[in-house]
Amino acid sequence: MVVVYTSDLHGNKEHYQELFELAEQRKAQAIIIGGDMLPIRGPFKYSLQEQQNFIFSYLEPKIRDFRSRAPHTTIYAMLGNDDWQASNVHLETLVAKGTLRLLHGEKHELGSGYELVGYAHVPPTPFTIKDGERRDLLDDAVDGQRCTACVSQGSKIIVVDPRRYFASMNSIEEELEELPTARDPRKTVYVMHSPPFRTNLDRLFDGRWIGSQAIRAFVERYQPYLTLHGHIHESSEISGTYWDRIGKTICINPGQSTEELYAVVFELEDITATIEHTVFGPMA
């Protein structure tokens, strides 16, 4: 089964075009988009409307056009920390039409006996949108945020106190245990927007590791077949690779660039022998 995976497209139409062309060329049975799907380029106060417009004026017709040529390709996607969670309402409209399937908190049959489970939340960042952020570990304290903290509420953007907001939400550690139970972790693919902590997948430009400790502990405990990540765009360039292992689990973050699409293509049944990055090539 051929899978194309990418993340952090941030509404880049050229990247979406490249993604669908790649999937068509490689005859992919599945496209997986691991978070941060939508743009925020205009005035911040209009960003909810901007994302809604992108979904219905660009993304829906683009997927419909692609599927007219590749009707047997299933598209799985989820929002990330740079997307307003209110935009899920609009994506659910596409789900109802059979256009795509949403990942966060859901389990899907991927094919060849494999299951696919999604989790979109990330540890706190210095950025304004807090919809998709959670404390990492249950006992984590939340430092004062230097930015204004905002969440989406229906059609509104509201300012929140970050300490109270994070205290009111379950941690990533807790939410991971609430995910749908996999039949067999050895045949389960997890799509998690945040990479696991202290790996090749979570390196910032300055070399710091900023991934999720809770996600790393989850992978260490359950040892799934494969985990797919994003969030840290530059990690593959800083670490020199787009993959790592935690025990027997293969973990991948293709990274992302504004100039060209960073994505991976692989045969699900034999990842290490078949995986290829659109820029960095086969797995070293």
Domain range summary for the chain, segments of one domain joined by +: 2-282
pLDDT score for 262: 98
Domain 2-282: CATH superfamily, name plus number: Metallo-dependent phosphatases (3.60.21.10)
pLDDT score for 142: 80
pLDDT score for 284: 79
Tokens standing for residue 40: 């925020």
Torsion angle of C-alpha atoms 128, 133, 137, 139, degrees rounded to 10 = 60
Mean pLDDT of the chain: 96
pLDDT score for 146: 76
- How, if at all, do strands 156-159 and 74-78 pair? unpaired
Positions of the chain with pLDDT lower than 70, given as ranges: 144
Reduced to 3 states (helix: H, G, I; strand: E, B; else coil), residue 148 is coil
Burial zone of 41 (CB within 10 Å; 0-12 exposed, 13-18 middle, 19+ buried): exposed
pLDDT score for 143: 74
> Which letter does DSSP use for residue 258 in this model?
S
Tokens standing for residue 59: 């993304």
pLDDT tens-digit profile of 123-177? 999 999 999 999 999 999 887 677 899 999 999 999 999 999 999 999 999 999 9
Residue 193 has phi, psi (to 5 degrees) of -60, -45
Angle at 203 between CA 202 and CA 204, to 5 degrees: 120
pLDDT score for 144: 67
Residue 255 CA to residue 228 CA, distance in Å, equals 11
Query: For 178-185, which contacts have Cβ atoms below 8 Å and span 24 or more sequence positions?
Result: 178/105, 179/105, 179/107, 179/117, 179/119, 180/105, 180/106, 180/107, 180/117, 182/107, 182/115, 182/117, 182/222, 182/224, 183/115, 184/115, 185/222, 185/223, 185/224, 185/225
Query: For 155-162, which contacts have Cβ atoms below 8 Å and span 24 or more sequence positions?
Result: 155/48, 155/86, 156/48, 157/44, 157/45, 157/47, 157/48, 157/84, 160/130, 162/124, 162/130
pTM: 0.98
